[in-house]
Every structure is written in C-alpha cells, then in structure tokens.
Chain A
Amino acid sequence: MDLVRHLGYFLVVTEELHFGNAAARLGMAQPPLSQRIRRLEEELGMRLFERSSRRVALTEAGRLLVPEAREIVARVERMRDLMADLARGDTAVVRAGVPADLGAPVLAALIAGFRDRRPDVRLSPAEMGTAAQVAALLEGRLDVGLLRHPVAADGLAYGPVLVRHPGVLLAEDDELTAWATVHLGDLAGRELVLFPRDAEPGLYDDTLASCRRGGFVPAAITCTDRAEFALGLVLSGTAVAFGAPAETPGVVWRPLAGTPLAWRWLPAWRAEPGPYVRDFTAVAVRVLKESAGMVDEGAPPTPRVAPRPATGFLA
C-alpha cells in the first residue's frame, strides 16, 4: 500500500470527523475512503476511529498518530516540491521574514552570509513585523522568521534568543545630549516615536511598561515602521526614539543608564523545520552578533527600586 497517501486520507478524516464530508473534500465516494481507512488500520494493527451510526471519533491510537502523520505527509510534500524545483531547473528558495528596523547593513550581511554558506539556495527575505511573521509562518508562507520577543504562538519552534539594549536618539540641540548617559526619567514629558503596536504587539507593550516604570510617560506616541520617518521626527525635535546609534547628521545617540530596555530577537520556524532553516538560523545568529551588536540572552536583570525615606510609603 501507499502508506503516505493513506496517511493523507487519515488526516482529512481526522479534520472532518465525518466520512461523507471527508470523501467530498477528497473528491471521491465514501465507500472507497472507508475501505482505505480500514486498510490503514489493518496495516498498523490498531483501530484509529470509533465509528457509530451518528459520529466518528479518534481512538487513543488515532490521536497519537495525528502529529506523526502530519510530519510525514508534510516532509514528503516538501521533498516532492524540492525535487520538482530541481527538475524544472529552479533554485531552491528559503523564504525568511525579517523585521523592518533591521537596517540595511545587517540585512546585506545576512544575505551575504547565507549565500556563502548555501550558494545553491536563494534567500528570499520579506520585511514583516512579528505579528505578520507569526501568521505567515503558521500558514506556510514563510520558512523561517526573525521575531521580536515577547511572542507566544503554538506550532512554532524557536532558536536562540539574542538581546540588544537600545539607547535613545535625540536631536543634537536637545539639552539631554549634554549627558553621557540618559535616564528614562530624563525623557519625561517628551514625545516618543515607536514601531506600530499592530506589527510588534508584545514588544510595544513591554517597552512602554518599562518606560512607565522608569518615569517616562510619553506625552504622545507616533507609530511608524519607517526609520527615515522616525529620524525626521527626532531631527525636528518633535520626538525621541529608541534604537541603535544612527549615522544621521543632527541626530545624537546616548545609552540609557542601567539598560532599562532589552530588545530581544529570536529565529522561529514551524514545528517541523523546512530545509535550510538551520542554515539560516546559524547565519542569522552570527550576523546579528557581529553586525548588529546583539549578545546571547543572559538572565534578564530584575528592575530594582532603590528605596528612599523621603519618597517611601507614608513619608
């Protein structure tokens, strides 16, 4: 018997839990479908479904088979796709999601690094926020992504977490540029330009919570994922931004005292990694460390309040 094809039938029945509906989806009549499921049960020596006149339910063995069958079917499909690409003379492609604010030099280093490691495979990067990457990864439109922490999505597996501590970008005539290091509390009353919450829901909330804890409640927040637009607001003195040092004349970067903000990145892929994902992850981790100043995630520092008698409780 063609085990892979039979597993495919099995998966459709598990999704429909109705032989008639499953047969309709597969474009076949119900009796041959029922017969093939029985042959699969005979082949594996286990009953996979409890059948009654009204309903179909998975047995314990059937439940255990589902993830195994999914993986086998997906792998065989990918293998066929890969062979088909080669047969047509196409180059294999890795579709990778990258954050909008990765920056041109880092993106270039990422593509060059992957080309060096896998000259036979083309890297196809797509600029996407974390929310869009999660959806695309789950739907199979991306093979691998670079996500911003925190993110939680069932069905994804994650690579090593890297961290970078952003500083603050100020207009050069801002009085705060007099300081070598700036405290979050120094920014009080200023406006902030930040990536959109739609694109980075976890990190957006995380960043603003850290700002509030540090004494910085932005007077207004402008959201953009366009670095040039953000720098324009900084240059004009309208808002401050968080990030890495910018080369733009007129914009001054200062580190934040005590590194109160931690921006984390992590590679992610579907639970069954596609080909070349490991290659991409290895290259991405190296490039982000070498070109983007990121480091391995250590134990995150616990924010600490230093008590003072005059500002304590009931003082």
Chain B
Amino acid sequence: MSPGVDPLERVFRNAGVTGWLHAVDVDGGREVGLRAAEPVVLASVFKLPLLLELHRQAERGLLDLAGLVRVPAEGRTRGGTGLAAMLDDATLSLRDLAYLMMTVSDNAAADVLLARVGREAVNTLLDGLGLTETRVVHDCRDMLTSLWEDAGVADQAALMQACADPEVVARLRALRPERSNRSTPREMTRLLAMIWRDEAAGAASCAAVRRLMALQVWPHRLASGFPFDDVAVSGKTGTLPTLRNEVGVVEYPDGGRYAVAVFTRSLSTAQNQPRADAAIGAAARIAIDQLRTHI
C-alpha cells in the first residue's frame, strides 16, 4: 500500500473492509472523519438511543426503571445472547433488561424495551437532539423477519447458512441504510458527546447510560485498539452480515475523552473476521491519536 494513503483507509483496506468513521474530542470539539456524513446501518447500535429514551421517560415519571417485567420464553425475539438465547420465562426490571440489551446486545430485551417506550418516541428524542439523520424504523424482530424474507429462509439457523452466499447478502434490505435503522458516524459521535457531557438527558440518566456502555463485554472491536489498563473504553456494537460497527467513548488517563463511531462493511461474507473486528479499534486509535497530536 502506498504511504500516501490515508492511514485510516489503509487500516480498513488491510482488513478487507470499507470503513466509515468519525471521532471528536468530547470537550474540545476537534474532529477526524472518513465518510463521516454518509448514512450507515446502525444494526444493534440503535439500542443506544433506545436506552436514552428509556431513561428520559423514567425522568418524566412515565415508567419505573426498577419495575419488574415478565418476559415469557414463548414469543421472545431470538438471538445469540441474553434472554434471546435463554430457554425459560424470566422476570426482571426494566433497567436490568437494559443491562442485557447494552452489555451483550440482547435482542429480546431490546424489543421488550422498545415496545415499552415506543419507536416513535425514540425518533422524537432524536429530533429533539438535532439528530435528524438518525432513525429507528424497526425493532429487532422486524429486522430479523426482513432478513428471513429477503434470504428466502424460515428461521435464524437457515439465515446463518444463507448469509455465507454473497448473492443472498446483496439482496438484504436490512443492510441498506434507507431501509434500516440508520445514522451517520457524525451524528453518533454527537450523541455520545452529549451523553458524556450530561447534555442528552439529566446527569443521573447520562451516568446510567455511561455505566452500561462501560459494562459491555466485547473486547474484540473498539477496546482492542486500546489494550491499556489506564484507558477506559465504553461502547455499543452492531453486527449484521458483512457489517461490523461500534460506537463508544475512549477516556485517557490525562482526562482526554474522545467519542468515536466506526462502521464497516466487509467484502467477504465470512462471519469470523477478527481482523475486521480489530480494524475498528486500530482505526479508532489512529483517529484519537490525530485528535491528541496538538495537545
């Protein structure tokens, strides 16, 4: 690769993906971007604005975060983690559902919460924050259903097999921003910066959102770029066939805080691509290093 190529592009190309990125200093406003204003598919990243609306409704007394919800096994949205993968009826609080939704990207928990707060309420919140490119158009169940329809399969196991075929992947509407939950890298970092500055909601709500993002378990994407004990990484991933995303905030020991949104799409349909996952962290570190260059 020629040395003249943008280092962010080089990282993405070497990992076999196309990348969209925006990084901003939460307190300083300096920014670095790559296709930062283009629409991107959020995948599970939409759970972040959903979580924020959940807390805003609790602030207004519309719901009780500690209130218990019964989530029967029957009819739950399926997925690979959390309640979506568990077998039995469960009863837990709204905020513990939020914990599962954010830390292991539990689809069942997300759909219970989205049904509770309302999809349009999330979009109204986004309008109020000035994030008009960001839309939530469906819940996890509807997104999965569209994937099954487009792939011509009847269940999740068959979808997994079908999505190894590039021609099938090319048909999936859920991978097109205009037909899916969507945003832009720039709007996602604006949202993160507002959460970290206590501007997206009350300070207690923003702190609760930050807590859950710090408890996310995945180490392979954003966090992989910062293998340092004194650096805190909080994030939310999003994954669909060929799509690997993560948005989050990286906090340095000197107090520097940087919001980063990275969205990637791989040419290969292989599901296991550790290099593509790691490219998210590597690109984020390059972007943050550029933000810190003039410190």
Contacts and interface: CB of A to CB of B under 8 A. Distances in A.
Nearest to A255: B295
Contacts of A310: 217-219, 223
A306 B254 CA distance: 13
Going nearest first, the 10 A-B pairs with the smallest beta carbon separation are: A258-B253, A306-B232, A310-B219, A180-B293, A309-B217, A305-B229, A183-B228, A185-B228, A180-B289, A179-B289
A257 B293 CA distance: 11
A66 to B, nearest CB: 49
B227 A215 contact: yes
Interface in A172-195: 178-181, 183-185
A257 B253 contact: yes
Contacts of B254: 257-259
19 contacts: A178-B7, A180-B290, A180-B292, A185-B229, A214-B228, A257-B252, A259-B254, A260-B230, A301-B253, A305-B229, A305-B230, A306-B229, A306-B233, A307-B214, A308-B214, A309-B103, A309-B216, A310-B218, A315-B217
A303 interface: yes
B215 interface: yes
B251 interface: yes
Nearest to B215: A309
Given A184-B228, A308-B219, A309-B103, 10 more contacts: A181-B295, A183-B228, A214-B229, A214-B230, A258-B230, A305-B229, A306-B230, A306-B251, A308-B223, A309-B215
Interface in A262-286: none
Contact of B228 (A180, A215, A315): A215
Contacts of A301: 253
A54 interface: no
Contacts of A260: 230, 253
Contact of B229 (A181, A213, A309): A213
Interface of A: 178-181, 183-185, 213-215, 257-260, 301, 303-311, 315
A181 B254 CA distance: 12
A303 B254 CA distance: 11
B231 interface: yes
Interface of B: 7, 103, 214-219, 223, 227-233, 251-254, 289-290, 292-293, 295
Contact of B253 (A304, A308, A309, A311): A304
Nearest to A178: B7
B189 to A, nearest CB: 20
Given A257-B254, A301-B253, A308 B233 contact: yes
B34 to A, nearest CB: 17
A315 B292 CA distance: 32
Contacts of A213: 229
Contacts of A308: 214, 219, 223, 233
B4 to A, nearest CB: 14
B247 to A, nearest CB: 17
Contacts of B231: 183, 257-258, 306
A60 to B, nearest CB: 53
Nearest to A305: B229
B219 A311 contact: yes
A143 to B, nearest CB: 39
Contacts of A305: 229-230
Given A180-B290, A310-B217, A304 B230 contact: yes
A77 B117 CA distance: 87
Contacts of B214: 307-308
B133 to A, nearest CB: 31
A214 B228 CA distance: 7
B16 to A, nearest CB: 21
Contacts of A307: 214
Contacts of A184: 228
Residue from A259, A305, A307, A309 having most chain B Cβ neighbours under 10 A: A309
Given A215-B227, A257-B228, A309-B103, A181 B289 contact: yes
B178 to A, nearest CB: 35
A138 B215 CA distance: 55
Contacts of A259: 253-254
B289 A258 contact: no
Contacts of B216: 309
Nearest to B250: A306
A309 B251 CA distance: 16
B233 A258 contact: no
A217 to B, nearest CB: 14
Residue from A181, A184, A257, A301 having most chain B Cβ neighbours under 10 A: A257
Nearest to A259: B254
Contacts of A303: 230
B284 to A, nearest CB: 13
A226 to B, nearest CB: 32
A175 to B, nearest CB: 12
A305 B214 CA distance: 13
Contacts of A181: 289, 292, 295
Contacts of B229: 185, 213-215, 305-306
A306 B213 CA distance: 13
